[in-house]
Structure 1
Amino acid sequence: MNKAFTKEEDGSSPQRLPDLPISSHPNHVTPRGLRLLQERKAALDAEVTRLRENRDYLPDPYPLSVAERDLRYVEARLASAILVEPPQTPPEHVSFGATVEVEDEDGRKAKYTIVGEDEAAPDQGLITHISPLARALLEAKVGDIVEWPKPTGIVELEVLSISFDAA
């Protein structure tokens, strides 16, 4: 077909971006994680509305496409969320949502909270339940030594305490 007869994209309507990949793991969330997803959805709803209302004045439709894609992702994550409430009794072992204080072989202490994938922030001690560290800690009890497989080798951690934040 002659190029003269094909419609070229004029940039006036946003392109639908491919959806962000969704994890195949169960979407467990803490109460905090669920609140964060709900807040993110509300912010994205507002952003999409604002961008659609100002579509005629946008020099580039790309920000709207990104906001719509991100909103689809958050809506999918909310739809598949499995809320895991903290236990009502003192914990006997590490489970989802627990904050665990550990000490390594060199005496360095650290705290990690096991959370859902969307809530994870390793630099803040929030680790996803599917991470090697979380898998090493799950089901451990105070006083247990767990082996954390790292690329540089196995690190032994002693579980010092287990706690849960109130919902």
Structure 2
Amino acid sequence: MNKAFTKEDDGSAGPQRLDDLPISPHPNHVTPNGLAQLHARAEALETEIARLRAMGEDAEALYPLAVAERDLRYVEARLASAILIEPPEGDYPRVQFGAVVDVLDEDGRPARYTIVGEDEADPAKGLIAAPSPLARALLEAETGDVVEWPRPNGMVELEIVAIRKA
């Protein structure tokens, strides 16, 4: 093969572009708080990118710059596809996106979940992504209903005891 058609590594690090992060196939529903978090994350990433670019061709800045640029592309795509779901004017008649849901499990242990968008989800804080099995089990249920939540170790019944705004 003619050398003109091959690319040789000259040893320079140069800027790199990381593959984009996967985007969920689900509709990108967001709460007002989730939308604010996406905007704040975009601003923080833009600031970080500017800081890293100011370092020039410093080899230690190249990979973090590529990561920040990739993350910003993801956040910008999520902002572009965001569908803001405002809470209803009155009370929630049933579990809907954005609702805070108080439940009791089969043993009477209480738990509280808020149905949010995927980027806002944080299960440790009770923020559950709408496409998750738990959220799907809760959605459309009313106070007093018992729903079945499929888990890897078996089905769990949850009684809805309250539904309210965040």
TM over 0.5: yes
Structure 2 counterparts to residues 2-151 of structure 1, below 5 A: 6-8=7-9, 10-151=11-152
Deviation track 1:67-126 (CA, whole Å, cap 9, x = no partner) reads 000000000000000000001111110000000000011010000000000000001100
**CA distance in 1: counterparts of 2:113 and 2:148, whole angstroms:** 15
Query: With structure 2 as the length reference, what TM-score do the two structures score?
Result: 0.93
- Does the 8 Å contact 1:11/1:60 carry over to 2? no
How many residues are matched? 164
Aligned-residue RMSD, C-alpha: 1.5
% identical aligned pairs: 62
Give structure 1 stretches of 5+ with no counterpart.
none
Q: Which amino acid aligns with 1:109?
A: P
Deviations 1:32-67 (A, max 9, x none): 000000000000000111111112334351111000
Q: How many Å apart are 1:11 and its aligned residue?
A: 4.0
Once residues 56 and 152 of structure 1 are traced to their aligned partners in structure 2, the CA distance between those partners, rounded to angstroms, is: 51
* Cα displacement (A) at 1:9: 5.2
* Deviation >4 Å, runs of 4+: none
TM-score (norm 1): 0.93
Alpha-carbon offset, residue 7 of structure 1: 3.1
